Amino acid sequence: MPWTEKLPSGRYRAGYRLPNGEKRYLTGTFAHKKAAKDAAIEAEGKVKRPGWRDPRAGLTTWGQWHDIWWPSRSIEPQTKKSDESMVRNHLLPRWKDVPLAEITRHDVQAWATSLVTENIRIVDGIPDEDEPRYRKPATARRIIAVFTVSMNAAIDAGIIDTNPATRVKLPPSPPEDPVFLTREQFTALSEAIPDPQDRALVDFLTGTGLRWGEAAGLHLHNLDLLNGVVTVSDVTDGIEIKPYPKGRRQRRVPFFQWAVEALEVPDRAPCGLKHRHGRTCPSGLVFRAKEGGPQDNRNFSQRVLQPALKRADLGHLGVTLHDLRHTYASWLAMDGVPLGRIAELLGHQSISTTEIYAHFLPTTADDIAFAMRDPRGANVGQTSNIRPFTGLHAVT
C-alpha cells in the first residue's frame, strides 16, 4: 500500500512497493502530503500493471545472470560440458561485468566478428603473424548460440525487452563434403585393421549406418544375431547411457553376416555404467573398450581408423568415423533403395536430411516413359508407341 513520510524539512516523500514486496521511493519531494500520496498511488499502480518491468533489473551483469540462469538449464550432459567450456573461455571474459541492459547489438556484432578474425595461434604468449590460425565460423556460431540462449532466458525472466544477439552476421561456413567409400576402398580399410574387435566395430558401423554413440552404447540384448536385426535404443555420450537415440525414436536396422563376421560376442554381464532411466542394465556392451566401459570416438579414430587408412593408402581422403555412416547410405542409394527407406534406417526425422544421397540414386526413364511417349505416332495412346532410346542418328 502506498504511503508518505514527512521529512525534517517539512516536505513529504512518496513510498510504494514493487510486486515482490520491495520498498521503493519516488525521487524528489513534495510540499503537500496529498500530492505525495497521489504520486505514490500512481507509482504503485504502474508497477502492478501487466508487463511492467523493473528498470533496475537491467543493471544485473551478465556474470550475475549466468549464476542464476545456468543451474536452470535442462540439457544433455555432453552439451553442458561443451557449453561450460565456451562460457569459461569466451562469454565470461567478455561479458561478465557488463549490465544486461547495456549490451547492444553493435557490441555483440563486434564481438562475433572478433571471434573469427582473432589470430588464435599463440607462440610464447604472442600471436604468431607468420603462420596465423583463425577460429572457424561454425565454432564462433556455437559460442554465440550459447550467449543468445542466455539472453533469451533474460527476456523470459523479465530483465530485458529484446535480445541484442539476434541477427548477428558471420562469414558463411564452407560446406564439409562427406566422404563416400567405394566397396573396394572399404574392403582395403577393413583388411588394414589388425585387431579383430577393432575391425568388427568398423565393419558394423559401415554395415548398419549407426551413429558412433549408438554403436558405442549398443547392448547385447538389442543385438539379434539370429535374425540379423539391431534395435537402436541405448546410446552413450561417453558419460552415461540414455534410452533413446538422436530424434528420440527407437528403430530396427537389419544387418548381414559380413557386418558381424569379426565380432566376438561378449558375455551378458551388466555393463556397469550409469543408465539415465535408472533400471538395472540387462546386458553388457557389444563394443566395449579394452579397459571396460564405452569406446571413445577420438581415441578410436587416432588409434585405429587413421593408421588403417594410411596402411590402405586412403589417408588422403580425410575419412572420419561418421563417413562410414555416409558410406552405408550411399551404397543403399546406388542400388535403388528409396530415400524414404534410407531415412528410416538412418533415423532421420526429416527426409530432407537424407537428400544428400539423392545423387547416388540410379537414373532411369521407366517412371516417365508413358508420359513422354512419342506424340507423333499414329497410335498415341498405345504402349507400343513407347520406344527405348537407341542413340542419335548420324548426320550425312
Tell me the per-residue pLDDT of 295-352, one tens digit each, with 9 for 90 and over.
889 899 999 999 999 999 999 999 999 999 999 999 999 998 999 999 999 999 888 8
Q: What's the whole-model pTM score?
A: 0.62
Provide the grid cell at 301. 579414430
- Give the pLDDT score at 129: 80
For residue 345, how many other CB atoms are within 10 A of its CB? 21
- Give the pLDDT score at 73: 87
Q: Is the pLDDT of residue 98 over 70?
A: yes
Alpha carbons 165 and 105: distance in angstroms, whole number:
6
Percentage of residues in the chain having pLDDT higher than 70: 90
Percentage of residues in the chain having pLDDT higher than 90: 46
Q: Which residues contact 154 (CB under 8 A, 6 or more apart)?
A: 65, 69, 100, 160
For the residues 130-145, what does the mean pLDDT come to?
Answer: 87
Under 8 Å between Cβ of 224 and 161: no
Does the CA dihedral 346-347-350-353 come out positive or negative? negative
Alpha carbons 132 and 232: distance in angstroms, whole number:
44
Q: Catalogue the E-assigned strands of the chain.
A: 3-6, 12-17, 23-25, 122-123, 126-127, 223-224, 229-232, 235-236, 241-242, 251-254
- Give the pLDDT score at 379: 55
Confidence at 359, pLDDT banded by 50, 70, 90: confident
Would you call 203 exposed, middle or buried from its count of C-beta atoms within 10 A (0-12, 13-18, 19+)? buried
Identify residue 222 by its one-letter amino acid code: N
What end-to-end distance do the CA atoms of the chain give, in Å? 104
- pLDDT tens for residues 163-174? 999 888 887 766
Q: Is the pLDDT of residue 63 over 70?
A: yes
Matching CATH number, 59-156, of 1.10.150, 3.90.550, 2.60.120, 2.160.10? 1.10.150
Q: Where are the domains of the chain?
A: 3-52, 59-156, 183-360
Q: Which CATH architecture has domain 183-360?
A: Orthogonal Bundle (1.10)
Identify residue 241 by its one-letter amino acid code: I
- Give the pLDDT score at 305: 96
